[in-house]
Structure 1
């Protein structure tokens, strides 16, 4: 078995895992947008201020990427993660603006051991991402797959 810290057994229902903080800057937002989402409000401060965003706003895909990095840093890179079968939902509630500092949390909703793959468990979670004002920027729900630390023990 692995010596990773986070295994299936560690994801108890109701557990909250803190994410961040992470401050985003204009340069990284613009670099991403220029490559993958070159809309004016993601590339130019003036265009961003003139838009509904009210400032240079990050692409939603950039926001999702930052979200993923924060999860990796908090627990995924030190886990038995085997990936995810997908995202149930991803919502953007408030624009991510250059200079925002993000914090967040992962909340464990449910879990179950795989009936077809011994040693593998499914963990359903909800993630929330907040700006420095405590405003919800984005939320996501998905199921992750994790190896069991003790596959023979009852989970």
Structure 2
């Protein structure tokens, strides 16, 4: 199992995830279509050319999902019970097709579950960066994690 169990995490532990992903126009079109988001800023090149960005922006929810997804192999693959929520999500820089995104995760807090024996809550900070190491996404996520089997 690639994921870590609850007690294998420590506060302050940081993961620099090796897997990177170059995002494409197809990713943006497909994600926006699948989520019924018709915002011209994501799917209309002619419209986007007239904006301050001059081209379509990657859908920020796609970016958020990718940043968290890039963390899974090193942290939670097979050991997550559920995502409990995300807070403090920001997108300080835009993402465009052709950008290569990588991710870094830090463990902020740990606590055993009061209502679910054998599980615990891990608070992660996920930071997404582009190919120039500029932060493009940051979020704090609470995940319910399996404890090591007894």
Same fold (TM over 0.5): yes
1:70 and 1:21 map into 2 onto residues whose CA distance is 7
How far apart are residue 53 of structure 1 and its match? 3.1
How far apart are residue 71 of structure 1 and its match? 2.5
Counterpart of 1:48 in structure 2 is: 48
Counterpart of 1:112 in structure 2 is: 111
Does the aligned pair in 1 maintain the 2:68–2:126 contact within 8 Å? no
Does the aligned pair in 1 maintain the 2:11–2:108 contact within 8 Å? yes
How far apart are residue 31 of structure 1 and its match? 2.0
The verdict on how the C-alpha distance between 1:5 and 1:62 changes in structure 2, with shifts beyond 3 A counting, is: closer
**Structure 1 residues 64-112: Cα deviation after superposition (integer angstroms, max 9, x where no partner):** 22223213344322x4111122112321111110000001111001101
Q: Secondary structure at the match of 1:83?
A: strand
Counterpart of 1:32 in structure 2 is: 31
1:40 and 1:91 map into 2 onto residues whose CA distance is 21
Does the aligned pair in 1 maintain the 2:111–2:122 contact within 8 Å? yes
Question: Would you say how many aligned residue pairs link Structure 1 and Structure 2?
Answer: 148
How far apart are residue 5 of structure 1 and its match? 4.2
2:25 and 2:7 map into 1 onto residues whose CA distance is 40
1:68 and 1:46 map into 2 onto residues whose CA distance is 31
How far apart are residue 57 of structure 1 and its match? 1.0
Question: Where do residues 70-109 of structure 1 align in structure 2 (5 Å cutoff)?
Answer: 70-77=70-77, 79-109=78-108
Does the aligned pair in 1 maintain the 2:3–2:72 contact within 8 Å? no
How far apart are residue 4 of structure 1 and its match? 5.6
2:31 and 2:68 map into 1 onto residues whose CA distance is 15
1:93 and 1:52 map into 2 onto residues whose CA distance is 15
Ranges in structure 2 where 5+ consecutive residues have no aligned partner: none
Greater Cα shift, 49-58 or 132-141: 49-58
The verdict on how the C-alpha distance between 1:114 and 1:30 changes in structure 2, with shifts beyond 3 A counting, is: same
